[in-house]
Amino acid sequence: MAASLTSSWEPGTEILSLDSSVLSTNSEDSPQLAKDVDYAEAILKAWLSDADERTAKQTSTCSHIEYKCNNKDETSLYGCIYRRSQIIENNESSVPGLILFHTGAGPQDMFLRWKADSLVNDKELFPNGCVVLIADIIGDREGWAWSDRTRYDTVRKSILIPDVNGERNELKCRVQAAIDTLSAQPGVDAGQIAALGFCMGGHPILELARMNVPSVKVLVTYHGVFDGVDRLSHVSGIDNKSSNSDDEVSTSKPNVLVCTGEDDPFVGKQDLALATVMFNDIGCNCRVMEFEKTRHGFTNPAQDYNPSDAFAFNEDSYSKSWSATRNLLKEAFQPNE
């Protein structure tokens, strides 16, 4: 079933003009985009600083989008599309597409809006622009994941716990829906896709690698969790009968970057090791960056207001991981430069 835009195109930075109290509450007109006022103010500050550092006046545009999962229930998913304003009407342009997979806070997270706006306006990385889909894994239109953790835990388990065959078909279905939705957007080069996952977003990144989607060139996780990886079925890229040589196998697989903190209690050492082995067994070129004195959520400045000691923003680790991400994306989408 085709995806449909559920709002008109609006400035991607419109959030920056809203009060933090508005962003941290749900209303009939807009979802809740922040846990609380402190969270909203931390992201607003970081986003404004990022926008001020841009070398030229650049703007993005965004629209909410509803799309369907191709399962028996045709589950509705609620994402957001970001693109550079200058290419909104230029359907002939062929630009890369990027998917952002959310944390346990769900898809209605202003942190992801900030990252999407930053990516589409990165002219050094994407001279002709790119299109970003903030994907939805849990079916959250209003931002209920911020407050209804019982519902979140129930949905999470239904998606992430493998079946008796070691497969996660519900997760796979939702990941495929994101790929199909982004690929169908005007101007997107459906053969040039990348995906970045934060926290819970580590699971769809691993599943994407297991799905062997040829159009996906880059996969990155930040404080990505891989709980339950030991129960997944084995997938090997070496047995790909459609390829004629080892070189063809290696070049058809995405490059993977796993960015994690040594002091992250949610990323077990065994889970990380097993996920890394799985990425490599599939045939991906997997690199792990493990940062010292770094806890969960290190990419998000709002985590400094998290009362749990398990979370903290780490500017140095964030900067290094984002720089490595940009280098990987540049290698994939600007190979001749």
| Alpha-carbon span 188 to 201, nearest angstrom | 22
310, pLDDT greater than 90: yes
Q: pLDDT band for 28, please (50, 70, 90 cuts).
A: confident
| Alpha-carbon span 71 to 87, nearest angstrom | 33
Bridge partner residues of 133 (DSSP): 81, 99
One-letter identity of residue 83: R
| Alpha-carbon span 23 to 38, nearest angstrom | 11
Question: Taking the alpha carbons of 290, 194, 247, 235 in that order, is the dihedral positive or negative?
Answer: positive
The length of the chain is 337
Q: pLDDT band for 245, please (50, 70, 90 cuts).
A: very low
CA distances from 82 to 29, 135, 181, 289, 292 (A): 19, 11, 13, 28, 33
pTM: 0.94
Strand, coil or helix: 128: coil
Q: What is the pLDDT of residue 242?
A: 37
Where does 45-125 show beta strands of DSSP type E? Answer: 60-68, 76-84, 95-101
What mean pLDDT comes out for the span 122-137?
A: 95
Q: Phi then psi for 27, rounded to 5 degrees?
A: -140, 175
250, pLDDT greater than 90: no
CA distances from 164 to 54, 158, 167, 169, 232 (A): 50, 13, 7, 11, 9
DSSP 189-216: EEEEEEEEEEGGGHHHHHHHHHHT-TTE
| Alpha-carbon span 209 to 284, nearest angstrom | 8
Tokens standing for residue 246: 């080892």
More confident residue, 86 or 256: 256
Mean pLDDT rounded to a whole number for the chain: 91
| Alpha-carbon span 172 to 85, nearest angstrom | 32
Q: pLDDT band for 248, please (50, 70, 90 cuts).
A: very low
235, pLDDT greater than 90: no
